[in-house]
């Protein structure tokens, strides 16, 4: 038996925009270990679907950013670079063009910018950062990296240093959301509190 898995991408109007084959699975004589998907096949399948989906989403976003929001003219391109983005289902590499601002919006010397890089400043999907932080709170950074690499299709791209950096980034963001630290509700010191009469 041969099973082909395809991703069909449709527009909002229902038109087929792309058909991409992401996996071909073959099975012969039925055995318990070959019934359904193996972990490695499932990881590879998820990674390919993720790559197809993210590539299409990012290309659509970049296309929307080509036109100047002020006058609608197409902004000049400086060039392209590849942007690496880490997700739960693998690391994806995305085409990220650099654009010059349109003349109507320019206030100083033209500096190029990348809309995709501005949209994805941390280069790590929030769900992956969440799982790394959650498991790192329960166990060591090393065990967290090993566990996630075992069950997620990451191609070994989760490492101790990366987990540590993401946990630090999440902690700093949470600290910033708390605001400035305030002093205790009751002023004074322990000696003064001990001198107060006991409530009966």
Cβ-based neighbour number of residue 130 at 10 Å? 13
97 within 8 A of 114, measured Cβ to Cβ: yes
Residue 147, in any domain of the structure: yes
Cβ-based neighbour number of residue 44 at 10 Å? 18
pLDDT value, residue 185: 59
Ramachandran region, residue 36 (left: φ > 0; alpha: ψ -120 to 50; beta: rest): left
Residue 133, in any domain of the structure: yes
CA nearest to 92, candidates 41, 40, 49, 146:
49
Structural domain of residue 159, as residue ranges? 124-177
Residue 103, in any domain of the structure: no
pLDDT value, residue 186: 62
Residue 155, in any domain of the structure: yes
| CA–CA distance, 73 with 92 (Å, rounded to integer) | 30
- C-alpha neighbours within 13 Å on the C-beta side of residue 41: 14
Q: List the alpha helices (DSSP H) in 66-154.
A: 115-119, 126-138, 141-151
Residue 36, in any domain of the structure: no
CA nearest to 116, candidates 93, 149, 146:
93
Number of structural domains (the chain) is 1
Q: How much is the pTM?
A: 0.69
Residue 42, in any domain of the structure: no
Instruction: Output phi, psi for 4, to 5 deg.
Output: -110, 135
Residue 32, in any domain of the structure: no
Q: Which residues, 6 or more positions from 143, have their beta carbon under 8 angstroms from its beta carbon?
A: 135
Residue 66, in any domain of the structure: no
pLDDT value, residue 58: 92
Look at the block and give the residue holding tokens 């990674």. Answer: 47
State the 10-residue block means of pLDDT for the chain, 200 residues long: 89 86 86 83 88 90 87 84 88 89 68 88 89 89 88 79 87 82 67 77
């Amino acid at each position: 038996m041969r099973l082909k898995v395809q991703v069909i991408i449709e527009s909002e109007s229902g038109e087929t925009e792309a058909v991409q084959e992401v996996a071909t699975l073959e099975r012969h004589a039925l055995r318990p270990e070959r019934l359904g998907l193996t972990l490695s096949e499932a990881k590879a399948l998820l990674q390919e679907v993720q790559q197809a989906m993210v590539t299409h989403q990012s290309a659509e976003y970049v296309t929307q950013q080509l036109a100047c929001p002020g006058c609608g003219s197409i902004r000049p391109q400086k060039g392209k670079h590849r942007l690496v983005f880490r997700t739960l289902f693998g690391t994806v590499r995305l085409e990220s063009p650099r654009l010059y601002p349109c003349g109507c919006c320019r206030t100083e010397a033209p500096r190029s910018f990348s809309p995709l890089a501005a949209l994805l400043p941390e280069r790590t999907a929030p769900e992956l950062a969440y799982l790394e932080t959650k498991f790192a709170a329960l166990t060591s950074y090393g065990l967290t990296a090993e566990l996630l690499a075992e069950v997620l299709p990451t191609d070994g791209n989760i490492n101790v240093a990366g987990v540590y950096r993401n946990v630090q980034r999440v902690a700093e963001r949470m600290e910033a959301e708390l605001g400035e630290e305030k002093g205790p509700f009751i002023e004074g010191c322990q000696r003064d509190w001990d001198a107060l009469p006991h409530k009966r």
